[in-house]
Amino acid sequence: MKRAKVTVIGAGPAGCVAALTLHKLGHEVVVYEKGRFPRYRVGESFLPGTLSILNRLGLQEKIDAAGFVEKPSATFLWGQDQAPWTFSFATPKTAPWVFGHAIQVKREEFDALLLGEVRERGIPVFEDAAVTDVDLSDPDRVTLKVLSGVVESDYVIDAGGSGSPLARRLKVRRYDEFYKNFAVWSYFRCKQPFEGDLKGTTFSITFEHGWVWMIPLKGDVYSVGLVVDRSAAAEVKKLGPERFYRETLAKAVRATAILGDAEMIDEVRIVHDWSYDSERFSGDRYFLCGDAACFTDPLFSQGVHLATQSAVSAASAIDRITRHEDERDEVHAWYNRSYRETYEQYHEFLASFYTFASFTEPESEFWLKRRISESDDARLNRLKWFDRLIQDDPENPTASVADFRDRASTMIAIGRHQRKELSDEFSEKELNVARVRWISDLTKQLNRITRLKWTGDEVLLKPYYKVEPLSFRLERKQVLANEDGLDMIKFPVEEEQREIFQLVTKETVGYKSLIKQLNDSGKQEVSSQIVIRLMEAGLLSGYDKADNRVIIQDRLRFDGVGVEYEV
């Protein structure tokens, strides 16, 4: 097998996971790290999908031995006078690498564990070794300046975080004007205040000036951070970080109620918390991963997951290109699209949730600034589904803004608790009623569909890639598409399913009959998911007996949670 030589910039989660995946796939890899580990990092609350990647890379024993705090859920006190709601990670264990929980970590400990594993597997790592320049001008190789020398390789993965040397050189970074926040945080000695289902959860709590994260870490430590508007910089300068932090935190009364008389045990840290992405995430012989490529507000603790997911994707893309040189452009197109869509899901989540909260914090400048209220808001223009909504109802485009808000409301409604008070009695079980109701409503709606309509005339199969979960190889698959280029990339299909959908363009097919055919074709585990995803992608719509369109309420979705992880 052809082996690629790959240089990885940075030994954070993105860099280490890229190195481990490339090594597993049989390639030669070297890591250059600017700092010296263990080094401090913010970003302590994870998603289950990260555990899945680490498990499949063979790190389970080390993770278990480290004794990190188990995170079963994220609980939101989101909006004044709103009952708390919980996003629970509970999910059926359909494979040993599907997790119903995540972990909370001290990053210096977690990152050092990862880097230790990289070294143990024999991958060369250089610390105190900043990459100062990357030369991509030669089509056959990449040249990096590092320490006092020059390094050549076939590919470079820039996992250098927000200071990425390559993003700077390529000038591809684009900041999002709407989410220029500021984060200020410290640590408290605070025994986990709750037992039962609240134990280990991350709290996100709104208040007038922004929101607060509270993350329980090992050893009775709580990480407590404030996310506030960038204009706070002037006040921080005037008061100093510690006084600003203490005074602002005191205004977040629902957070301080949980902390009680906990003692602050560390310095106050500050960072710009600005959302950004890149015009492109890869090309020719380079890949940007993790914070080097994009970053969005930490509301849903997705940073490390985006880092590890993109790292696996970049490594398997390099492996594929090395074995199939002729697919280079297609593989880059896949990497860029899949990464961007994952990032956009989180961005959409952020916009929906900030907008939702803005209606419950009416006097607040922070929340008003972040509310989406007009259909021409730039944040909505970037969302494909939003364009479709507008086309569906040309008479009334503002209805789509309401629909946008509904997505957050739907998600919150599924996780809303009946009781307002947080206590040891707080139970995730009480959410089952809402979950069952949601699923039964959805099923009822789908069963009402007596006629399905395919958008366009042709049902086509289009090549697309998927990372095989256990081998980490990038495999060429096929997905459904129409002649206008609309497609649904989540679930791969074969000719047999294509023929089933081609029938929909010619005959009257209802939902139940379609599901039966898909089940019979071997897709029983995902048949209704395929139909729902096709509807979300705008390829399929449904009508009831009276020929009225049946609207299926979308939920917000993101990779890294649930049964299906994207990698």
C-alpha span between 85 and 80 (Å, rounded): 13
Contact between 41 and ligand FAD (CB under 6 A)? yes
Span interacting with ligand FAD, options 80-88, 291-299, 453-461, 523-531, rule CB under 6 A: 291-299
Contact between 71 and ligand FAD (CB under 6 A)? no
CA distances from 221 to 106, 214, 335 (A): 10, 10, 38
As given in the structure block, the two tokens for residue 358 are 């803005």
Least distance in Å: CB of 52 to ligand FAD?
14
Residue from 59, 307, 350, 467 touching ligand FAD (CB under 6 A): that is: 307
Backbone angles phi, psi at 355, to 5 degrees: -65, -45
Span interacting with ligand FAD, options 44-52, 61-69, 85-93, 482-490, rule CB under 6 A: 44-52
Residue 85 buriedness (CB in 10 A; 0-12 / 13-18 / 19+): buried
Span interacting with ligand FAD, options 39-47, 239-247, 431-439, 467-475, rule CB under 6 A: 39-47
| Residue with token string 């089509």 | 139
Least distance in Å: CB of 297 to ligand FAD?
8
Span interacting with ligand FAD, options 27-35, 279-287, 372-380, 467-475, rule CB under 6 A: 27-35
Q: Which residues of 88-103 are buried (b: 16+ CB within 10 A; e: fewer)?
A: bbeeeeeeebbbbbbb
Residue from 4, 6, 7, 14 touching ligand FAD (CB under 6 A): that is: 14
Contact between 31 and ligand FAD (CB under 6 A)? no
Span interacting with ligand FAD, options 157-165, 203-211, 475-483, 529-537, rule CB under 6 A: 157-165
Least distance in Å: CB of 42 to ligand FAD?
5
Contact between 347 and ligand FAD (CB under 6 A)? no
Sites for ligand FAD among residues 195-254 (CB under 6 A):
225
Contact 370, 355 (CB under 8 A): yes
Contact between 273 and ligand FAD (CB under 6 A)? yes
Q: Count other Cβ atoms within 10 Å, centred on residue 272.
A: 12
Contact between 43 and ligand FAD (CB under 6 A)? yes
Backbone angles phi, psi at 371, to 5 degrees: -85, 135
Contact between 298 and ligand FAD (CB under 6 A)? yes
Contact 72, 561 (CB under 8 A): no
Task: Provide the H-helix boundaries in 160-240.
Answer: 165-170, 232-239
DSSP class of residue 520 equals I
Least distance in Å: CB of 293 to ligand FAD?
8
Contact between 112 and ligand FAD (CB under 6 A)? no
C-alpha span between 81 and 74 (Å, rounded): 18
Residue from 12, 48, 100, 216 touching ligand FAD (CB under 6 A): that is: 12
Contact between 163 and ligand FAD (CB under 6 A)? yes
Span interacting with ligand FAD, options 35-43, 251-259, 347-355, 392-400, rule CB under 6 A: 35-43
Nearer to ligand FAD, 335 or 501 (CB): 335
Least distance in Å: CB of 66 to ligand FAD?
16
Backbone angles phi, psi at 149, to 5 degrees: -125, -170
Contact between 124 and ligand FAD (CB under 6 A)? no
As given in the structure block, the two tokens for residue 434 are 């809402």
Span interacting with ligand FAD, options 42-50, 250-258, 444-452, 533-541, rule CB under 6 A: 42-50
Beta strands in 431-557 (DSSP E): 451-454, 460-467, 474-481, 487-488, 540-543, 549-550
Nearer to ligand FAD, 43 or 538 (CB): 43
Residue from 4, 32, 370, 566 touching ligand FAD (CB under 6 A): that is: 32
Contact between 559 and ligand FAD (CB under 6 A)? no
Nearer to ligand FAD, 31 or 504 (CB): 31
Contact between 389 and ligand FAD (CB under 6 A)? no
C-alpha span between 160 and 481 (Å, rounded): 36
Residue from 29, 33, 335, 452 touching ligand FAD (CB under 6 A): that is: 33
H or E stretch at 212: strand 210-217
Residue from 22, 131, 232, 252 touching ligand FAD (CB under 6 A): that is: 131
Residue from 161, 210, 216, 538 touching ligand FAD (CB under 6 A): that is: 161
CA distances from 130 to 10, 16, 20, 155, 393 (A): 8, 16, 20, 17, 53
Nearer to ligand FAD, 11 or 25 (CB): 11
Task: Provide the H-helix boundaries in 25-95.
Answer: 48-56, 60-66
Length of the chain as a residue count = 567
Contacts of 267 (CB under 8 A, 6+ apart): 186, 242
DSSP class of residue 418 equals S
H or E stretch at 215: strand 210-217
Using CB under 6 A as the binding criterion, the count of chain residues that bind ligand FAD stands at 39
Span interacting with ligand FAD, options 134-142, 156-164, 245-253, 469-477, rule CB under 6 A: 156-164
**Residues forming a β-bridge with 104:** 45, 69
Contact between 15 and ligand FAD (CB under 6 A)? yes
Least distance in Å: CB of 538 to ligand FAD?
31
C-alpha span between 356 and 373 (Å, rounded): 11
Span interacting with ligand FAD, options 19-27, 94-102, 297-305, 489-497, rule CB under 6 A: 297-305
Contact between 172 and ligand FAD (CB under 6 A)? no
Contact between 165 and ligand FAD (CB under 6 A)? yes
DSSP-assigned letters across all residues of 186-209: EEEE---S--GGGTTPEEEEEETT
Q: What does the binding site for ligand FAD look like in residue numbers (CB under 6 A)?
A: 9-15, 32-35, 41-46, 130-131, 159-161, 163, 165, 183, 225, 271, 273, 290-292, 295, 298, 301-305, 307
